[in-house]
Structure 1
Amino acid sequence: MKIPQSIRGNLLLKMTSLNAGVIVVRLVISFFIQRMLALMVGEAGIAKIGSLRNLLEILSSFASVGIFSGIVKYVAEYKEDKEQLQKLFSTTFVFTVFGTLLVSLVLFFGADYLSNTIFDSPDYIYLIKLLAVIVPFISMYRVFNGIVNGLSRYKKLAGIDLFSYILSAILTVVLLLTNNIDGALVAIAITPALQFSVLLFIFVKVLREYVQFSKLTFKIPLAKELLAFSLMSFFSTVLLNYVEIDIRVMIQKRITMADAGIWTAMTNISKNYMVFSSAIFTLYVLPKFAGIHNKTDFKVELFNVYKTLLPLFGVGMLLIYFLRDYVIQIIYPDFHAMGPLFKWQLLGDFVRLAAIVLVYQFLAKKMVRNFIFSEIISLALFYILSYYLAGIYGVEGVVMAHFIRYVLYFFVVSFLVFRYFKKQKSKS
C-alpha cells in the first residue's frame, strides 16, 4: 500500500514518528527504574527524587540565564549569518559564565539552608555541594543543546537523547543497588555531566563549524534580545519548579509523606510522556512560528500541529487511563492510592498540550508581557487551588487543581495569541 505524499512529506509527522521510537524505549527503561525505586526507597524516596529533579530544572534555567529558547530561535534565524551568530554566542558566553559562577557559589555556601528547605533535612548537604560542581556541565549542555535544536538536527538529537538516557539509567541502577536512596540521588545529580559529554562527542564538529570559540569576546551585543527569554524562563521554569517543591512539602505536612510520594509518582508518569511533546515543540513549532507573521498562516500551521499531535496523544492517554491498574502494578507496586489521580492528571495534560502549542507563539515573537501574564495566572491558579482542594479531597485535590488550572490557562493563552494578530492587522 502506497503512503500518500501528504503523509510522507509531513516533517512534523517524521519528527513525531522518530521521537516516538525514542520515547517508547525511554518509557520502558523508565518503568523499570521507577519500579526499582518504588520497591527500594518507597514513597518517601520518590518524593525526595522529585524534589531533586525540580531543583535541577531550576539550576538549568539559572545557570544558563534562561536563554535556551532564545538560542534556538536565533540560531534558526541566523544560521547562514556568521557575524550575527558570533554576536549571539559571545552574549551567550558572558551570560552563562555569570550564571554558572553565581549559582555554584549559592549552592556551595547555601548548602545547609537548601538541604533543610528542599529535603526537610540536613542530611543532603553533600548533594547540594555536588551540584555546585556539576553546574558548569548543566549550563554548557543547555547552551549546546539549544544550538543543535536551532539547527533542527532532530535525528541526531533523538540518538543523543536515547544514548545519554541509557547511560544515566545504568548509573542510577548501579548506585541504587550499592547505596540505596543516596546512590540514586547522586546518579541523578551527575546525569547532566553525562548528557553534556555525549552531546559534545557526537556534535563537536557541528559546534566548531558554527561556534568560533577563538573569537568569543566578553561582550553582550544581543543582551536585550536574550534577556527577554531569561525573564520568560524564570516564570516558566524556576517558579514552576519552586511551586512544585512547595506543594510537595505542603502535602507532606498537611497529609502524609506517602501521599507526597504518590503525587510525585503520578507526575513522573506524566513527565515521561510529556517530554515527547517538548522535544517536538522546540525542534519544529518554535522555528515554524518564528517565520509566520499573519493570522491565516498561523491558523493553518496550528491546525496542522493539532491534527497531527492531539489524536496521537489522545489515544495514548486513553490507553494509559484504561490500563492504569496495570501501570500502577508494573511501575509502582503498592502505590494503589494513585488510581483516582489518573483521570485528572491525564485530562489536565491533554489540555496543557493544546495550550503549550499556542504558548510557543509567545516565545517565537518574544511576547514577554503576554507570556509572563499567562504564566503568573497558571502558577497562581495551581498554587491556590492545590492548597484549597487538598484540604477537601486530599492528594486528589492537587491533580484536580492541575486540570482546572490548564482549562483556564488554555482560554487565557488563546485570547492573548489571537489578540496579538488582531493588533498586528490594525497596525498594517
Structure 2
Amino acid sequence: MHSVLKRLKTAIQQSVLLKVTSFNSFSVLIKMMTGLGVSKLTALLLGPQGLALIGNMRDALELFHKFSSGGLANAVVKYSAENKSNPKAFSSFLSTLVWSGIIACSLVMAMIFLFSEFINAFIFGSRDFVFIIRVMAFVLPLHVMNIYLMSILKGFSEFSKVIKINIASHILNLLLFALLVFAVDLKGAILSVVLVPSAMLFFTLYHVRNYFGRLNSFSWSEFSSPMLKNLGQFAFMTLISSVSFPLVFLGIRNFLINTLGEAEAGYWEAILRISNYYLLFVLSLLNLYILPKLAEAQTKSEFREIIFSFYKQILPLFALGLIVVYLLRDLIVRLIFSEEFLPAADLFLWQMFGDFFRILALVMVYQFHAKKMMWHYILTDLFLALGLYFSALYFIPRVGLEGVVIGHALTYVVYFLIILSLFSRTLFFSRV
C-alpha cells in the first residue's frame, strides 16, 4: 500500500494535469458540500416546485450573462494566454475588450429594465418577481467584470487563484442562500442567485491585485479593429450556440410544467443538479486546464497528446465515479433532497449514459474555441441544442418524465459521433 501511494504521489508531482486535478478536486468537494446544503434547504423549504423555478432563474441569468459579456469568456482565455508575454498586444486586446464589453452590457441592462415584466412572465409565469429582474439588470456590470477577470486569470495559467475564488464563491453561495431563504422564502432564494456573482467580484479583485498595472493599460487609443473582428467572431460563435441552451432548458422545463406538472419539472431539475455535481470535477478541469493548453498548442501532435492524456488519466476515474453514483442513487437523492424527490432516482441511468458521451465529446470540442473553428462550433452546438429540445418533446408525451433523459442520452451519443468524425483524421491518421 505504501509503495502504491508513493507511486501515486510521484505521478501527481510529475504531471501538471494531475497537479491541477488534485487541487481542483478540493474545490469540487467544497462545491459539492455547499451545493448539498443549498439543495437540501430547497427541498425541505420550497419543494420540487421551488427547485424548478430556481432552475428557471439560473438559466435566465446564464442567458443574460452570455449577452452582456458578449459571449467572450473563452475568447478572453485564448487571447490572455496568447498575449500574456506581449504587453503591447495585451493592452490592445484589453482595450478592445473593455469598450466592447461596456457597450454590450449597457444594451442588455436597458433591455432588461424595459421588458422586465415580460421577462418575469416568461421565467415565473403568474408569480411576481419583477423586482428581482430589475435588481439583476442593476448588478449585471459586476457580473461581467467578474467573468472577464476570471477568464484573464485562466489565460495567465493562475490555476490556484481561480480555484481559490471558486471555493470562496461556493461558500458564499450557501451562506447567502440560507440567509435569504429563511428571511424571504422563495423570493430570497431566487434573489441569492442574482447577488452571489456580484459579491464574488470583490474576491476576484483581491486575487488579481498583482496584475492591476497590466489591467490598467487599456485606453481608447489602443482600440484595435482587427482585434474587434476577432472578438466579434468569438461572440458570434458563442452567442448563437450558447444562448440556445438556456432557452432549451427553459423550454423543456416549461413543457414539463404544462404537460406533467411543476413537481415533475422539479424532479428533472433535481437530476440536473446531481448531474452537475458529479460533472463538476471534469468540466471545471476542462475550463481550467484543457482550454488554455489547446490555445497554446501549435501542432496536431500536441493536440493529440492533450486529448489522449485526458482520456487516459481522467476518463477512467470519471467512469468509475459514475458507476458508484448509480449504485448509490436512492441514497444520494435522499441525502441531497428528500423522500419527496425519489422519482428522480429513475432518471439516473439515461442521464449518466448521456453525460459520459458528453465528456468524451467536450474535450475535443474545446479545440473549436482554442482555434476559432467558428462554424464547426456553431453548427454542432445548434444540433445539440435542437436535439435535446425536440427529443424531449418527442419522448415526454410517450414515456412520461423519463423521456427527457432518454432524449438527453440519444442526443449526446449522436453528438459524440459527429465530433469524433470531425477530428478523426487528426487523432488517428495525421503524423504532424
TM class by shorter chain equals: over 0.9
Among candidates 162, 165, 175, match of residue 160 of structure 1: 165
1:412 corresponds to: 418
The worse-fitting range, judged by mean Cα deviation, of 51-60 and 290-299 is 290-299
Distance 1:216 1:162, change over 3 A: farther
Among candidates 207, 214, 223, match of residue 210 of structure 1: 214
Please give the secondary structure, in 1, of the residue aligned with 2:162: helix
Cα distance in 2 for residues equivalent to 1:234 and 1:213: 28
> Residue deviations 1:86-106, cap 9 Å, x none?
111011111210111011111
2:361 corresponds to: 355
- How many Å apart are 1:216 and its aligned residue? 5.1
- How many Å apart are 1:421 and its aligned residue? 7.9
2:346 is the alignment partner of 1:340: yes
1:71 corresponds to: 76
User: CA contact under 8 A between 1:115 and 1:125: conserved in structure 2?
Assistant: yes
Cα distance in 1 for residues equivalent to 2:364 and 2:358: 10
Aligned CA-pair RMSD:
1.9
Question: TM-score, normalised to structure 2's length?
Answer: 0.94
Superposed, which structure 2 residues align to 1:19-418 within 5 Å? 19-206=24-211, 208-213=212-217, 215=219, 217=221, 219-221=223-225, 222-333=227-338, 334-418=340-424
User: CA contact under 8 A between 1:93 and 1:216: conserved in structure 2?
Assistant: no
Cα distance in 2 for residues equivalent to 1:119 and 1:395: 21
Distance 1:423 1:211, change over 3 A: farther
Cα distance in 2 for residues equivalent to 1:423 and 1:83: 39
Cα distance in 2 for residues equivalent to 1:275 and 1:201: 25
Cα distance in 1 for residues equivalent to 2:425 and 2:315: 24
> Residue deviations 1:15-52, cap 9 Å, x none?
11111111112111211220111111111110110011
- How many Å apart are 1:119 and its aligned residue? 1.1
User: CA contact under 8 A between 1:141 and 1:195: conserved in structure 2?
Assistant: yes
Please give the secondary structure, in 1, of the residue aligned with 2:188: helix
> Residue deviations 1:252-300, cap 9 Å, x none?
0011111011101111111223233232112221122223344333222
Which AA in structure 1 matches 2:152?
A: I
> Residue deviations 1:366-388, cap 9 Å, x none?
00011111111111111111000
Cα distance in 2 for residues equivalent to 1:247 and 1:414: 27
Please give the secondary structure, in 2, of the residue aligned with 1:264: helix
Cα distance in 1 for residues equivalent to 2:96 and 2:426: 29
User: CA contact under 8 A between 2:53 and 2:124: conserved in structure 1?
Assistant: yes
Cα distance in 2 for residues equivalent to 1:301 and 1:136: 35
User: CA contact under 8 A between 1:57 and 1:237: conserved in structure 2?
Assistant: no
- How many Å apart are 1:217 and its aligned residue? 4.4
Question: TM-score, normalised to structure 1's length?
Answer: 0.95
Cα distance in 1 for residues equivalent to 2:322 and 2:220: 46
> Residue deviations 1:290-322, cap 9 Å, x none?
233443332222110111211121121111111
The worse-fitting range, judged by mean Cα deviation, of 241-250 and 163-172 is 163-172
User: CA contact under 8 A between 1:266 and 1:342: conserved in structure 2?
Assistant: yes
- How many Å apart are 1:123 and its aligned residue? 0.3
Please give the secondary structure, in 1, of the residue aligned with 2:129: helix
Cα distance in 2 for residues equivalent to 1:126 and 1:80: 45
Which AA in structure 2 matches 1:312?
A: L
Please give the secondary structure, in 1, of the residue aligned with 2:128: helix
Distance 1:324 1:423, change over 3 A: closer
Cα distance in 2 for residues equivalent to 1:299 and 1:214: 36
> Residue deviations 1:58-106, cap 9 Å, x none?
1111111011111101111110101110111011111210111011111
User: CA contact under 8 A between 2:42 and 2:50: conserved in structure 1?
Assistant: yes
User: CA contact under 8 A between 2:304 and 2:426: conserved in structure 1?
Assistant: no
Q: Structure 2: give runs of 5+ residues left out of the alignment.
A: none
Please give the secondary structure, in 2, of the residue aligned with 1:339: helix
- How many Å apart are 1:121 and its aligned residue? 2.1
The worse-fitting range, judged by mean Cα deviation, of 159-168 and 3-12 is 3-12
User: CA contact under 8 A between 1:94 and 1:218: conserved in structure 2?
Assistant: no
Cα distance in 2 for residues equivalent to 1:255 and 1:401: 17
Cα distance in 1 for residues equivalent to 2:127 and 2:187: 13
Which AA in structure 1 matches 2:310?
A: V
Cα distance in 2 for residues equivalent to 1:403 and 1:130: 37
- How many Å apart are 1:6 and its aligned residue? 4.5
